[in-house]
Chain A
Amino acid sequence: MNIKVECHEANHICDKNQYKEATFWEKVKLNFHLIYCRACRKYSARNNKLTKAIKNPKVQTVSMSEKEAMKRRLEEQLSN
């Protein structure tokens, strides 16, 4: 097992990590890579920022069931 990874792989781990899907070993490799790679550090920082922004509780979305209800109302109107 090599601790060194290439940038594209580091980015892939970083993406996975945003969804908590990276394994422990992958996280170790990512962090090791970030020590010496400035570009990936930047990418990681932006990626984390994006995740945080979307997790913001003020950002509200319409749930699936609510969307279905709205669709039904629209379709009723369309068929009239």
Chain B
Amino acid sequence: MPSHKIDATKWVDAYSDYLFNYTITRVNDRDVAQDLISETFLAGLKSMKNFKGEATERTWLISILKRKIIDHYRKSNSKKGKAEVHINYKDEESEGDWLEERVADPFDKTAEDEIENEELGQAIFSCLDKLPEKQARIFRMKTIDNFDTEAICNEFDITPSNFWVIIHRARTAMASCMEENWL
């Protein structure tokens, strides 16, 4: 074991949302994304020895995940008929029409909107990462997983006013972090 300890059991809680956002914007399929993340965690386990601790765990996992995503596309590409283009004309009459007429309207949806939204998720989760652990967990439970205040108070054994102070601190930190990195 290297000197720094890696606790793989915490990976799912700590990184799955961040990795998921990263993956979903690239593969656009929930199931595939989850498979890729699971594979990434497994690969991470196997090569734990090689992790020198120079980067953060998350960066390291992302670099594995990138490979997995590339592999995924390689696989799905090799399944395709190579360099074969099938064009389905709607009916007999339109056969031989200009292909160019059938491309999607570029002004339909602006690419910029899409990209912005995709990056937003990553910005949120990397900001969440910077919060102290307890704050991050409570904020996540309340805001993202939509737990009741009471349930969280019971779980962490804190009073409601205690809880709101934590939420307040988390929100302030998140807001300024998002302002720097995003807005």
Give the B-binding residues of A (Cβ under 8 A).
11-12, 15-16, 18-19, 21, 43, 46-47, 49-51, 53-54, 56, 58-62, 64, 66-67, 69-71, 73-75, 77-78
B30: shortest Cβ distance to chain A, in Å? 8
Contact A61–B17 (Cβ < 8 Å):
yes
Contact B45–A74 (Cβ < 8 Å):
yes
Contact A58–B38 (Cβ < 8 Å):
no
B-side interface residues, number (CB < 8 Å) = 39
**Is B64's beta carbon under 8 Å from chain A?**
no
Inter-chain contacts of A69 with B (CB < 8 A): 34
Of B78-86, B87-95, B164-172, the stretch lying at the interface with chain A is B164-172
Give the A-binding residues of B (Cβ under 8 A).
8-9, 11-13, 16-17, 20-21, 24, 30, 34, 37-38, 41-42, 45, 117-118, 120-121, 124, 142-145, 149, 164, 167-168, 171-172, 174-176, 178-179, 182-183
Contact A58–B171 (Cβ < 8 Å):
no
Contact B9–A59 (Cβ < 8 Å):
no
A65: shortest Cβ distance to chain B, in Å? 11
A61: shortest Cβ distance to chain B, in Å? 5
